[in-house]
A and B are shown apart, each in its own frame.
Chain A
Amino acid sequence: MERLFTGAREVRVRAYRQGFGDCFLLALPQGDGEPFYVMIDCGLLLAAPKQRIEAVVRNIIAATGGTVHLAVVTHEHWDHLSGFLDARSLFNDERGTDPEKLTIERVWLGWTEDPTNALAMRLREERGERVRALSALIESAPAGLGSAPMVEKLLSFFGTDLAARQSRTSLALETVVGLARNEAEFLYPGGTPRTLAGVEGVRVYVLGPPENETLLKRSNPRTSASEVYEEKGLALSPELSFFAAAVGSNDEFATLARPFEVASLTPDEAGTDPFFRRTYFDETASWRRVEADWLEFSGELALRLDRDTNNTSLALAFELVPGGRVLLFPADAQVGNWLSWQDVEWANGVTANDLLERTVFYKVGHHGSHNSTLRDLGLERMRHPELIAMVPVDQGSAARQGWSRIPFAPLLDRLQEKTRGRVLRSDDGEALRDRPAPEGVTASVWQAFQDRVIDAGLYYEIPFPLD
């Protein structure tokens, strides 16, 4: 395998195609001819063999000569983190110097992982509580619980080992922080755009996660913002009361487990009571019983957990030269995160809309699901004629999970239109070279795209000019 070099006036992006998960490598030119390497995420979900992610890490080692200057870890989900554990043996420790292994100089995370930020720590703690409680609930769930498969699969985003009741994602986060030679940095939206040591002209804008708790918890597209249905009040107490009864996870709420201090019958007693035998235990009316219905709330809580975690995504925009092209990496930001960009202010006066207008590479959010690409204030603002979109997705595996709307067909259609057919997917079957021009795209435009992108099987590599 060969090193990945760049021309003096270009940036190269490798989009890895390991499956349902994100991993990107950016090579940016420094004055000395050695590129500055940025790695964004390293994860793979859905029953794929470890070897897939190991192959990706090996490729990165070869391409970089063994050092990435910066690793960006966007959020605590297994499809963005698994490599740091599953391919742990391929990374050098903080002080390790094995040239065959990958060394990480620095690591960037969203402020939502910042141990000195009280809100961040509260959110993380809630996240941990929820994962533990839901895992325990699923383990002992009754057969009739309709939400169980969904909850279990959502927990897989935390690399959850149900038996050990442990989420491996938080371990993976700690691992990557520990691997880096320098202290981890926690990024807040806005302020002064960041620069990369030795790389001239390139500036990195932090768009999200938002510092506003309401937006952090907002998931779905909705055009009217009625106060009534915002869920900000439904914070933890109804949830804890639910878990207290479901898994007895919290002593503080154990006293609330019973709503009345009056006489009641146990199920055994009720089974012999004439009234309940005639009603609840009537065999011909067994279809009306409500044994598991109350536990369906776990589905709602699992979805909330997924949404809240995705919304903590560290969303970055790489501006290649001042006022020039932009590479957009929103991770799995959902609606609330996207919306918050509108209010972010940078010291140099650039706005989120400027960045969207100039976007030439869009890493499609959350494997192309319906709620991770904002329409009017997102994709519709991306008007650059050179726009390319990359969807890290494995539709077959997603469908086997029952996630038949990932990727979301109407979004793919619109991406095709916006990019004039330049949509790359990690699960593309045919080699790019052999793919016919999409409908409405002229042969010469398509030919130029095919010539520009390297399809190496394991990854796509795309050059972007620095001018």
Chain B
Amino acid sequence: MTTSPPPAFRRLRAYLFDPGLSGQIDTAAINEATLRVGWEEALEPGPVGEYLEVVDFDPATGCFYPPVDLNDHILLAQDGLPPSEGTPQFHQQMVYAVAMTTIRHFEQALGRTALWAAREYIEAGQFRREFVQRLRIYPHALREPNAYYSPAKKALLFGYFPAARTNPGRNLPGGLVFTCLSHDVVAHEVTHALLDGIHARFTEASNPDVLAFHEAFADIVALFQHFSYPEALRHQIARTRGDLASQNLLGQLAQQFGEAIGTRGALRDALGFTDPATGIWRPHKPDPALLQQATQAHDRGAILVAAVFDAFLTIYKSRVADLLRLATGGTGVLPAGDLHPDLVNRLAQEAAKSARHVLSICIRALDYCPPVDITFGDYLRAIVTADFDMVQDDERGYRLTIIEGFRRRGIYPRDVRTLSVESLRWKEPKLNLPRGSVKRLVDSLRTEWDLRTNREAAFKLLHDNCRRVHVWLSGLGLDEEAQREIGLALDAESAPATLPRNADGKPVFEVHSVRVARRVSPDGQLHADAVIEITQKRMEEGLGRKFKYRGGCTLLIDLHRLTVKYAIVKSIWNEGRLERERQFRGNPAQVSLRATYSPDPGGRRMAEPFALLHRED
């Protein structure tokens, strides 16, 4: 008997949107699809695999639902369980399949295995940081219209609830809606967890953009995941006759959930909205003033999502312009009636490719973000720089398109003079380092973290590297000018008084993370950078309340050229930023009713920061 190599994929059935669309004739056919999930040889019942463990306990009813065994030969032969709202084992299968798909998108864009945020706790007075191998998923943990990623438990908690009795949309009034069966909700929540694994400080709202960024990013990933399913894509292209700017399922998130809570449409829509008075869908008009007015994280995040989606649409349109000319004898005006299936196919391919590119750009930019206090403007700069590093020659004008998309929504970085690629790109810091000092650091680092690396080994490596960078920076003897250049205060005499000192009287700094970013650019060149995040804090006060004012920088070190390529700085010296943070924290729009009535509103048990619907905002 010959031994065959294991298959590349495990085929699993799932809803492409949510069960609501299966009840509709025109979408039923595409809504139930088969996802191709990376094969895990050692997958156990749960499913419990390398990244995820699905544990199906419903505390409200005290029911434990037995785990699905996806290696059961009966299920292997038929692509898993068929979609069913009434079978909890199908729910387990679907959350696993969708979450694994999202994880794969991340890993492909970043070129390394994904890690969940470490568990940090204090035991016997000792600070501990522990590797968390698997994100836990509870498909039925809540009994409310909500779902969230819990940073404290490293777990996704999904809720279920009866649909509203009035205006339930396509739902049965009072019928149960399961958030874990919404493809979008699952992708959104797992993205929160992935982002937290990279930027643990992005859970701290130090300006109006931080939590909004988390929400927007999770939405962006969920939206673009739609485009990786060819059937759904072809269906929607045919239905919109190639015009993806018109109302379509691809630009919407969580239809069933939105309708079930009575909002008359999807929970979020990157393209438009349903007028509550008329019930008619209308496209959003980009309005740069909206950003100033939006204070709530989801509202603000929606603006960033719209900016990115805008850029995607422009890219898609430019990529298909030639196809449309070919198909129309040069007029570009499509004849009435259905599009030719070949044209639909080609348009779908271009849409899929555009979406893949934009999503990769968005994910790669995470390595170019400051370690704390991110703003939308910083993210624009991160995108531009990341893409410049990948594709020097912007032949298709992606970068300009993205800048334009942001500009139309009023998203500008605070500290640049023009919106050109040149001024948006992060700068190389002027450090005047002694000869050989970068080489000394790079030689001491372990940089073998890529897509094949065992994740626990990667975790250890990351933290070993943190210690090495700490030693390196402590011994570097940067003068004050250089310290200010990277936004850190390292001398006892000159550092701000509110910055804590260690036992030796030295200002405390933390090397938060050392990652390796690897990529192969289209010209075949292999690139590798070390991404180093260093942070500091000051104990400050504003409007009678104490808070930690954080600063620091992300350094990108080119592992081949041995240079510090970029310093992405949120200076701990910056008094203006401190004042803005004070103002922000004192703004009534930022104070929730919960904060008014609870002593510890930031306590994670009280208010989960990533709830799908914010509890009492």
Identify the A interface with B (CB < 8 A).
144, 146-147, 149-150, 153-154, 219-224, 226-238, 241-242, 245-246, 253, 256-267, 269-270, 273, 275-276, 279-280, 287-288, 290-294, 296-297, 299-300, 303-304, 306-307, 369-371, 375, 402-406, 408-411
Contacts and interface: CB of A to CB of B under 8 A. Distances in A.
Contacts of B140: 259
Nearest to A264: B63
27 contacts: A147-B598, A221-B588, A224-B295, A226-B296, A228-B263, A233-B166, A234-B145, A234-B262, A242-B60, A242-B144, A245-B143, A256-B174, A259-B176, A260-B87, A264-B64, A270-B57, A273-B64, A276-B55, A290-B141, A290-B157, A294-B144, A299-B594, A299-B606, A304-B616, A306-B593, A403-B597, A410-B588
A226 B302 contact: yes
Interface in B119-145: 119, 121, 136, 138, 140-145
Contacts of A303: 593-594, 597, 615-616
Interface stretch (B22-30, B45-53, B393-401): B45-53
B211 to A, nearest CB: 14
Given A222-B295, A237-B174, A294-B60, 7 more contacts: A220-B589, A264-B64, A266-B63, A290-B57, A290-B138, A404-B545, A404-B599
Contacts of A265: 63-66
B149 to A, nearest CB: 12
Given A227-B273, A233-B262, A405-B596, A262 B64 contact: no
Contact of B595 (A147, A256, A304, A405): A405
B586 A410 contact: yes
B337 interface: no
Contacts of B46: 275, 279
The 7 closest A-B pairs by CB, nearest first: A233-B262, A402-B599, A146-B605, A270-B64, A264-B63, A238-B161, A245-B60
Contact of A221 (B136, B589, B615): B589
B431 to A, nearest CB: 41
B160 interface: yes
Nearest to B616: A303
Contacts of B262: 232-235
Chain B CB within 10 Å, residue with most, of A144, A261, A297, A408: A297
Nearest to A151: B597
Nearest to B274: A227
Chain A CB within 10 Å, residue with most, of B61, B273, B293: B61
A230 B276 CA distance: 11
Interface in B209-267: 258, 260-264, 267
Contact of A150 (B160, B164, B296, B598): B598
A38 to B, nearest CB: 30
A231 B616 CA distance: 10
Contacts of A267: 62, 64
Interface of B: 45-46, 48, 53, 55, 57-67, 86-88, 119, 121, 136, 138, 140-146, 150, 152-155, 157, 159-167, 174, 176, 178, 258, 260-264, 267-268, 273-274, 276, 290, 293-296, 298-299, 302, 543-545, 586-589, 591-600, 603, 605-606, 608, 613-617
Contacts of A223: 293-295, 589
Contacts of A154: 597
Contact of A219 (B87, B273, B593): B593
A294 B64 contact: no
A254 to B, nearest CB: 12
A276 B588 contact: no
A260 B144 contact: no
Nearest to B266: A228
B64 A405 contact: no
A462 B165 CA distance: 51
A405 B599 CA distance: 9
Given A147-B606, A258-B61, A297 B593 contact: no
B477 to A, nearest CB: 42
B155 A238 contact: no
A149 B138 CA distance: 26
Contacts of B53: 279
B136 A293 contact: no
Contacts of A236: 165
A300 B616 contact: yes
A303 B545 CA distance: 23
Contacts of B67: 275
Nearest to A292: B59
A304 B64 CA distance: 31
A234 B587 CA distance: 27
Contact of A293 (B142, B154, B178, B616): B142
A155 to B, nearest CB: 11
Contacts of B161: 237-238, 241-242
A405 B591 contact: yes
Contacts of B599: 402, 404
B615 A299 contact: yes
Chain A CB within 10 Å, residue with most, of B57, B67, B153, B615: B57
Nearest to B614: A229
Contacts of A144: 605
Nearest to A153: B597
B596 A293 contact: no
A33 B155 CA distance: 72
A224 B290 contact: yes
A234 B152 CA distance: 27
A294 B143 contact: yes
A245 B146 CA distance: 16
A222 B48 CA distance: 43
Contacts of B294: 223-224, 226
A293 B60 CA distance: 10
B59 A146 contact: no
A283 to B, nearest CB: 15
Contacts of B290: 224
A306 B445 CA distance: 55
Nearest to B588: A370
A235 B267 CA distance: 17
A147 B153 CA distance: 17
B63 to A, nearest CB: 4
A343 to B, nearest CB: 16
A276 B594 contact: no
Nearest to B144: A297
Nearest to A243: B143
Contacts of B164: 233-235, 237-238
A221 B591 CA distance: 9
A263 B64 CA distance: 9
A130 to B, nearest CB: 14
Contact of B145 (A238, A279, A299, A307): A238
A266 B293 CA distance: 50
B134 to A, nearest CB: 10
B86 A260 contact: yes
A232 to B, nearest CB: 6
Contacts of B146: 297
B78 to A, nearest CB: 19
Given A147-B606, A227-B263, A290-B153, A409 B543 contact: yes
A300 B295 contact: no
Nearest to B159: A294
Contacts of A296: 605-606, 608, 615
A353 B46 CA distance: 62
B176 A264 contact: no
Contacts of B154: 288
B368 to A, nearest CB: 29
A266 B603 CA distance: 31
